[in-house]
Structure 1
Amino acid sequence: MTVDKTAIRNAATVIVLRDRLTAPKVLMGQRGAQAAFMPNKFVFPGGAVDAADADVPLGTPLPAVCHERLMEDAPADMPHALSAAAIRELWEETGLVLGTPGSWSCPPPADWASFAATGHLPAAHPLQFVFRAITPPGRPRRFDARFFMIDADEISSDPDDFSSACDELSHLQWIPLPQVREFDLPFITEVVLAEVAARAHDMTPPSSVPFFRNNEEANMFVRLKGVGPVTGRSH
């Protein structure tokens, strides 16, 4: 049996919903034709966790239930790092600020300098952990991606201003949920969108989270229900 030796990187993906109670729209962009991972596909903003993300100060904390779900089958510092990565990737790929006004007590890491220059600290309280998926074996890059849903009303900047975005994604746009499947989407994005559609009108974080676990032996859906405070085992 061939063993897939591609390293799996932790990653955060952000699903921004707008007008979710009336005519829900989701923010997506298109990856470049030369991209090594999912070329030409329409995707949510997101990317791998950087080493510095675990040490970035958060202006507001992640919801407790989301923190508990993220702790399952993960290192203790992962909820903080993933929260920061989600906010950083949203800023880098869309130019949108998920933050609270404030100044940094220490100089920010290089990847955070432009975010800090907006006069904000990253705000994790709007992040709702709604899905987790590992890229199947055999792909050129593999990620253990956690998907966070946020309401566009939590964005501190103009939700239509993408002028500060890098060139990672093109054709950034708010797509009505009923029309999203007309675009060229990765399989896992279609699966996640079904979860998003089901939760579009629910403003509270989910009590359990779907996890699409892929490894060399099998792929399966399980649900993350958190780590118990006494035994430390899933329940």
Structure 2
Amino acid sequence: MTEITHHSQVWTYRTPKARLLLWGGWLALVALFVWCWQVMTRDTIWFFVADAPRQAADIGSRMLPPRWSYMSELWLPLWDTINIATLGTIGGVIMAVPVAFMAARNTTPSARILRPIALFIIVASRSINSLIWALLLVAIIGPGLLAGIVAIALRSIGFVGKLLYEAIEETDARQIEAIEATGAGGAQVLSYGIVPQIMPAFWGISVFRWDINIRESTILGLVGAGGIGLKLQASLNVLAWSQVSVILLLILATVVLSEWVSARMRHAII
């Protein structure tokens, strides 16, 4: 008969070495957090921090009641803001479509040259905030709506291009092969095999980006790129807090309305 030996070793979720490494990692993370906190608060004046609640309450009291009579001066800047977002989105989508097709592995004409260039354009666009684009463009082409429109368009290229090229890569290859089996050329495969599959995603991405651009375009006026942000900057400069409250409420209402419109449009499309 064979004897069954019983081992006294108890199973543990982690070995002693793994537990030691885990605790070491947590200690290193805490040390990193403490060091970062010291760097960030090195020049902090804590008296101002302690006084911040009183200052916030004071500014809040000055913002109430809102100066509703100022609303009549905000409709035109608000319309400019909506135009900046809409035209910038259209321009960004138009430029993003060829970039997306060049970035997608299954549609790029050159995987070694054009695809890296397209991916670089997408990364560069997404890396720079629209406010920074507006700041640069105001210095290049001057203040006004054009700088805001171009800034929104340049920022939108990366967002639309990335999501669209991922949608292109996820297309059903069987449908494309069926089109190719009929003897269709490259343009016909693109028109009948790929484009119909990505159109719902294309419209959904475009509407979603327009909704984002509505929010981003409201602050471009802070750097001179037009829109309701110019009125906000002017009111802040003269400490007209009752006007600031009206502008903020109008921006909030506009963003909520654009979110509702965007959701309804995406639901209808997708």
Give me the TM-score of the superposition, normalised by structure 2. 0.21
Q: Which fold has the larger relative contact order, with Cα–Cα distance below 8 Å and residues 6 or more apart in sequence?
A: 1
Q: Larger % of helix: which?
A: 2
Answer with 1 or 2: which has the greater Rg.
2
Q: Larger % of strand: which?
A: 1
